[in-house]
Structures are given as C-alpha cells and as structure tokens.
Amino acid sequence: MRLSQTMKISGLVQGVGFRPFLYRLAQRYELKGSVCNTGSGVQLQLEGEAEQIECFVEAMRAELPPLSRIDTLSRSSTAWHGYETFSISKTQSHQTKRTLISADIGICETCLSEMQDPANRRYNYPFINCTDCGPRYSIMQGLPYDREKTSMRFFPLCAACEREYANPSDRRFHAEAISCFECGPRLRLCGRDGGLLCEGIKAIEMASMALLEGKILALKGLGGFHLLCDATNSEAVLQLRQKKQREAKPFAVMFADIDSLRNFAEITAGEEALICSKEKPIVIVQKKENLLLSGHISPGIERIGVFLPYTPLHHLVLQKVGRPLVASSANRKDEPILTQSAAVTERLGDMVDLVLEHEREIVNASDDSVMQTVDEKSVFLRMARGFAPKSIKLPFKSKKTILALGAQQKSTISLIFEDTLIISPHIGDLGSVEAFDCFERTIENLQKFYDLKADIIVCDMHPEYDTSRWAQKQKEDNPALALLRVQHHYAHILAVKAEQGLRGKVLGFAFDGSGYADDGTIWGSEVMIADERGYERQFSLRPFRLIGAEKAIKEPRRSALSWLFEELSLEELLVSDLAAVAEFSHEELTLLHTAWHKGINSPYSSSMGRLFDAVASLAGIVQVSSFEGESGLKMEAYVDEKITQSFSFDLHDGQIDTASMLREILCLSEAGEIISMFFNTLVEIISDVSRKHPELPLLFSGGVFQNKTLVRMIMKRCAQMKRSCYFQHETAINDGGISLGQAWFALHNQ
C-alpha cells in the first residue's frame, strides 16, 4: 500500500547532519519526497510503500548521527503529491523558532586525518570541520541554524566548498562552518600591541617557536581565547601565574594525544572516555610522579586538569611545539573569557607576548567544560563548551516562558518554553562589570534565538545579588512580569530532582559555602525534606560566626578561630600552640575576639564550606585560601582509608552540634588523622540523619560535593545502607546548577 506522510521532528536536528542522513535513508528505502529545516526542527515529506516508510522510521531512530537527538516525531497522512525524487529543500521561514541549539564540538577523527594528509586540499588547514564537528553555538546569531545566520556568512564559499556544501552524499553537506584556504578566515599572529607579524602557516610556526622560548601566547579557540605556555618550563608557568594573579589555583594542561597524556597522569577507563569524547572537556585526574611537568601547575595538589586539543588550530600548534601546554582561559580574575583580539590586547596586553587570532567572530562565549569522575560516574564542575547550551525535555508543557537567573557565583541561566528547558553555558562569577555584561548578553541572545520574552523571572532570595537586583529592575519596568524568589539550597535540591526526573518528596543534603536564608541569615549545610511545592528544614550545622564576614571566606584561619572562640577562652588561646592561632598576634587575637563576642562584622553562618576551612586550618593545611575550594581539594590528599574512627557529634533541635568534634580535634596532632576522621564524621552525620527518614530517596548537591573523596565515601555508605542516592551527573553540582533548580520550581508553581 502506498502512503504519503508529513513528519515533523524536533530535537537536536539542525547543524548535525540530520537532513543528509534522512536523504541517504530515503535512497536506501526507495522513498520520494523532501526534507527542510523549519523554525521548530525538521519537516519531512515521504511518499512510497507503507512497509518501506516504517523501515525508514525504524532506521532513523536506530542510526541517528552522533550529534543529533529526536525529542518529538509527529506523523500525519497527506494527499499524494507524486514526487519524482527525494530532495533537500531550503529552510522554511517560520515565525515560531523552537529548534534546539547544538553545542560546539571538537574536531572529529576524519577531519583530523584529512588535516594531516599532505595530499588533501585542507592539509594543515586550521579551520577544517564537517557536520560531525566544529563550531555551532559559538558562531550562531539566530535560528534556524543556517550559514547566513552565523558569523561564517562573511566568507562566501569557493567553488570546491560549494560543491561539498550542496552535495547530500558529502559529509560537509550544509556544514555551515566549512571553508578552506581559498575562502575561509585568515590566521594572523600579532604582537601584544595588536600589530600584525605574519599570517597563515607562518603564524603557527612563529607562535610555536615563541612557546618553546618561554613566551605566553593568547590563542583564539572555539568559545574564547586561551593563554598558552610551555607546561615543562617552570619559569614560563610561574610568569603566567604572576601575570594572571593566580597564586596557587591549578592550571589545566593540554596534551597532543591520549598516549602522551598517559605519561603524566593516572587515568581510569571512565576518565579516558571523557577525555577522548567528542566534547573534549577538561578532566581532573591523578598526577603521576613526573619531573618534566612544572611543579607550578598544581602546587600542593595531587590532581591535575587535563584535556586534548579540540580545534584544528590547537592540534597544529601542539604538533609544532611537541610538548604539553598550559591552557588557561584568557581573562583577568573574576572576569569572563575574552572572545575578541582587540579585548585581549586591551585587557591582557601586559600578560601576553603574542596573539594568534583569526577572522571568524565568536558570537557567543563558551569557556572549557571541567569534569571529574567518581566511581566512573561523571560530575560537572563547569558545564560549558561541548555540553551547553544543554536542552532537557520536560514532562509537560509550560504555560509560560520562564527565565531563571541562577546565583551570583558560577552563574548560568535557564530558559523554559513549552516542553523545553535550556541551560546556558557557564558564565562565571558576577563580580565585575565585564562578567555582568556577559550575563546580560547571554540572556539577550537566548531570548532572541527563540523570539521569546519571559513571563516569569526567577532569582535567588539574596537581595544583594546582582541577579536579584536585575530581576527587581525588570519587575519595576514591567509590572505584569511575575517574579519568584527561590531559596538557594532548596534550588540545589530541585536541580537534582530536575536532572534525575524524580517525583515526590526527597531528603536533600545541600552543602556549600553560603546561601541566603528565609530568616536573613547565611545557610550552608541544609538537610531538607523537599518537593516541588516547598521544603521543611530538618537539620543544619549549629551556626557559628564568620569573623570579618566575606574576609572569612578567603581566610580559613578565621573560621577556625571562630570555632575555637565557641569552646575556649581568649586566655586559653593566647597561650596555645595551635596552627590557626599562631597565624595571629596577641593584639589581633584580642581584637578579633572582641569582634566575635560583640558580633561586629561577624554574621552567623551554618556553612559546611567554612567548617571544611576550619578543620583545614586546625590541621595546618590551609590558613589563607588563594582560590575557592582549596581547603577541600588539599584535604583529600590526607585521607587515609585505614583510619575508620570518626569524631562525636550531636543531633538535637534541628542542629548538627560539632562542639565535641572540636574538643576531640584539639587532642590530635597528625593532619592525616584529623582529616580522615573528619570525612568519616560527615558520612556518619549523613547516615544518622538518613535513618530518621528511611522511606525517602537521598539527594546531594552543592559545592561541597565536588569533593571526590567525600562523594565516593557517601556512595559506598548508601550502598551498604541499601538506600537510593542521587547526585547530578549531567549538570553542574555547584552553583552552576542553581538556575536549573529555580526553573524547575517555577515550572511547577506557575
């Protein structure tokens, strides 16, 4: 029986080789018709035998191109048209734009082989790509995803590229970013003042020579610039640290290939799979003892962030240099990654020696993704290039358009329309004008892509967050706009529910540095029974003062001192030999005790992050932090699994009382024993609280659960207790996931 059908397909179906894939299937099953991009995805007309059409649909679902995803497929019968062939038609113009945005993808093996083949016309071409790889989101200016709506529209195709672009059997058919030496962007090497030095392959050769000489190079990647230097040259690495004012925070290292990477790091099968994936994230792995890499890359830390080159240009530079390279985001502290060469010259001219750039504009910034594995399960520390924008299919359609603004740190935004939720790439900490500009551009671009304006805006409860102020301004300018405020730790728990698709009540553990609470205090160790309608706070740490407020976040010794003031008198501390106390003079101790006692610039907090700081300080590991999370990261190296004892604690009146823990810590002198028992104690606290609610699944979110050792211990204990436990594996577990939780709340409370 002959049929004529129209199929409408939504999902990741544009810019991923989906239409040529359908063309090849139509040829296989001898079907006629046409396919075209639309504002909501792809529309397909098929005519032929009913049995062949069903085979076509089965094969379409089973053999999807690697970057594509089908979310919905609707089919309807239509009148017989009498198509003589199967063709790929031009994009239909639609007012409604709902197709999903594809993230940028690292160079595929086929393109890499062509680039390394002297007989290929794209030999050593630094912008080689096809439908399976290359830039997407970073060059996108609008939807549907067609060349004229990308920054490649400024580069008309030459005759050879045009033939590939127009040939449905070619893997570069409608690969919107394709080009070659004849028609593509030019590569240029400039001095720190922006002056042109050379172009083309000569630019790569000269830049590579400079790296070998110990120079710092700014290189334009997919979503922004990298700062590169020779990872085996300690003087160069130290110079980059000093110029970037990055005292001790680890650098990531880019290796030419997985074999060379293995010489410097211990990697598991799961880590290798992530490192070699098409997204090419930075993956945190165990360092090997190797004298070749500079000790200044991750001082005092046994782990290192590693990744492989993901653009042709990175590959070409690494091949020329023949050594691993430090690859750090090109930005100043607390600012977003830079995307324009003029900005690099202006903002980082004193930091770099040379700039290797090109003419293809980066429209949407996207930093490198950062991940780690725990028992071979992935954990996002930063979700960006390769993985974001991330789209999630919702269980039901939203009545309204929802814009969730996330937190102040590790900012992301989330957008809900109809049955789709989109999470932006990592934006960063909103502590600078430049970062907030990036935040506003991201909102503007995502809404512009879909021709949407939010009906509901969701923000954090903290009145001093820039995101909260921005939301309030939008409300003042548009009174019809609904404004929701969601408690920080509750949003953490909802983010896990959203990712895992969990229904009903859960017992959630949200442990982090800080979050504004219902009562105006600072929370940070929250145990909640929660669902989408609300939460009941069950337990949190007994609050203690943060002496110096924000200053205490950067000085673990202050958190330790506050904890000590709770249990010991000033006179006892003045004669003690504790590591934290030795950091202060007698006069400073007296002044700080007065501030603590009177509550002068010393707000109460129940922050688990600050408790980590206090223990790290008492153990003599970290007194002043040079980067966020330093205490937890360095503490991991001291955990001894042979030590099974834990400190005592009390659970009463909704509080986790650690007074007895402190007294027991003061009786110990070995850092390894203190840290091991502290980690064991956290697991015992979680276990004891969990036993009070045996019927509820356990959820964990917040920056503290970036700690690989702690998460592994929790997973092991939950397995022993035969309790279901859930962490985030596909979205950021830190504040980068807050916008997801906010959006999830608004979806269920419209």
Can you give the three-state secondary structure of 417-484, one letter per residue?
ECCEEEECCCCECCCCHHHHHHHHHHHHHHHHHCCCCCCEEEEECCCCCHHHHHHHHHHHHCCCCEEE
d(CA 523, CA 42) in angstroms, rounded, equals: 47
- CATH code: domain of residue 21: 3.30.70.100
DSSP label of 81 = -
Q: Is the pLDDT of residue 259 over 80?
A: yes
DSSP 197-248: EEEHHHHHHHHHHHHHTT--EEEE-SSSEEEEEETT-HHHHHHHHHHHT-SS
Is 732 within 8 Å of 382 (Cβ atoms)?
yes
The reported pLDDT for the residue numbered 146 is: 87
Residue 88 confidence (pLDDT) above 90: no
The reply to whether 157 falls in a domain is yes
Residue 329 CA to residue 350 CA, distance in Å, equals 16
Mean pLDDT of 59-67: 91
Evaluate if residue 234 carries a pLDDT over 80: yes
- Both 554 and 688 in a single domain? yes
CB 743 within 8 A of CB 414: yes
Do 170 and 131 meet the contact criterion of CB atoms below 8 Å apart? no
Helix (H, G, I), strand (E, B) or coil at 499: helix
DSSP 3-state assignment of 440?
helix
Distance (Å, rounded) from C-alpha 195 to C-alpha 209?
18
531 domain residue, yes or no: no
Of 407, 381, 590, the residue nearest 516 (C-alpha): 407
**Residues 399, 491 share a domain:** yes
> Region 49-72: what's the mean pLDDT?
93
CB-based contacts of 476, cutoff 8 Å, min separation 6: none
Tokens encoding 322: 């023949």
In a domain, 101, yes or no: no
Q: Both 154 and 199 in a single domain?
A: no
Strand partners, 211: none
Q: Which pLDDT tens digit goes with each residue over 670-725?
A: 999 999 999 999 999 999 999 999 999 999 999 999 999 999 999 999 999 999 99
Structure tokens at 415: 């957008």
Answer for the pair 124, 187: CB distance below 8 angstroms, yes or no: no
Rounded distance between C-alpha atoms, residue 283 and residue 268, angstroms: 11
For residue 431, is pLDDT > 90? no
Domain boundary among 320, 343, 368: 368
SS3 374: strand
CATH number at residue 320: 3.90.870.10
Domain range enclosing 357: 187-368
CA 613 vs CA 424, 444, 563, 618, 649: distances in Å? 31, 38, 11, 9, 18
Is pLDDT of 533 > 60?
A: yes
Q: Name beta bridge partners: 220.
A: 225
Query: What pLDDT digit, counting tens, does each position of 591-607 carry?
Result: 999 999 999 999 999 99
**What distance in Å separates the CA atoms of residue 106 and residue 174, rounded to the nearest whole number?**
18
Helical packing angle, 312-321 and 200-212, nearest 10°: 50
- Identify which of 608, 700, 681 has the alpha carbon closest to the alpha carbon of residue 639: 681
pTM for the full predicted model: 0.94
Those residues whose C-beta lies under 8 Å from the C-beta of residue 592, and which sit 6 or more positions away, are: 547, 548, 558, 561, 584
pLDDT (0 to 100) of residue 172: 94
Alpha carbons 578 and 567: distance in angstroms, whole number: 14
Rounded Cα gap, residues 722 and 716, in angstroms: 10
65 three-state secondary structure: coil
Give yes or no: residues 621 and 565 share one domain: yes
Please report, for residues 122, 526, 652, the alpha-carbon distance to residue 125 in angstroms, rounded to integers and kept in the order given. Answer: 5, 53, 66
Token pair, residue 158, equals 């030459």
Residue 8 in contact with residue 43, Cβ under 8 Å?
yes
* Size of the chain, expressed as the number of residues it contains: 750
- Same domain flag for 401 and 548: no
Question: Residue 360: which residues within 8 A CB-CB, separation 6 or more?
Answer: 127, 135, 139, 151, 152, 155, 177, 184, 185
Residue 291 pLDDT greater than 80, yes or no: no
- pLDDT the model gives residue 169: 85
Alpha carbons within 13 A on the beta-carbon side of 646: 14
What mean pLDDT is predicted for residues 523-545? 96
Nearest to 514 by CA among 608, 581, 425, 451: 608
Is 522 among the domain residues?
no
717 & 579 share domain: yes
Distance CA 523, CA 243 (A): 35
Return the ∠ at Cα 25 (arms to 23 and 28), rounded to 5°. Answer: 115
Round to whole Å and give the CA distance between 2 and 161.
38
Position 66 scores a pLDDT of 84
Alpha carbons 472 and 470: distance in angstroms, whole number: 5
Position 91 pLDDT exceeds 80: no
Q: How many Å from the N-terminal Cα to the C-terminal Cα in the chain?
A: 48
**Residue 93's pLDDT band (cuts 50, 70, 90):** low
Question: Residue 186 in contact with residue 358, Cβ under 8 Å?
Answer: yes
Q: What average pLDDT is seen over the chain? A: 95
Q: Is residue 513 part of a domain?
A: no
349/381 same-domain check: no
pLDDT over 90 at 520, yes or no: no
Determine what percent of the chain is predicted with pLDDT higher than 70. 99
pLDDT at 95: 57
What are the structure tokens assigned to 203, written together?
A: 């630019």
Residues paired with 225 in a beta bridge: 220
Does residue 158 surpass a pLDDT of 80? yes
Lowest mean pLDDT, pick from 26-40, 124-138, 209-223:
26-40
Q: Are residues 76 and 6 in the same domain?
A: yes
**Judgement on whether residues 378 and 362 belong to the same structural domain of the protein:** no
For residue 618, give both structure tokens: 């008492």
Amino acid identity of residue 645, one-letter, is: Q
Query: Is 122 in the same domain as 66?
Result: no
What Å distances lie between residue 658 and 224, 566, 664, 703, CA to CA? 45, 11, 10, 21
Any idea what the CATH number is for the domain that residue 631 is in? 3.30.420.40
Tell me whether residue 14 is in a domain.
yes
Non-local CB neighbours of 670 within 8 Å, separated by 6+ positions? none
Side-chain-facing half-sphere of 708: CA atoms under 13 Å: 22
Whose CA is closest to 138, among 12, 226, 219, 223?
223
425 and 347 both lie in a single domain: no
Give the pLDDT score at 204: 98
Dist CA 402 CA 6 (whole Å): 31
Number of independent structural domains in the chain: 5
In a domain, 197, yes or no: yes
Distance CA 685, CA 683 (A): 5
Q: Given this model, what pLDDT does residue 38 score?
A: 85
What's the whole-number mean pLDDT along residues 435-448?
94
| Residue 285 forms part of a structural domain | yes
Same structural domain, 697 and 564: yes
Give the mean pLDDT of 225-240. Answer: 98
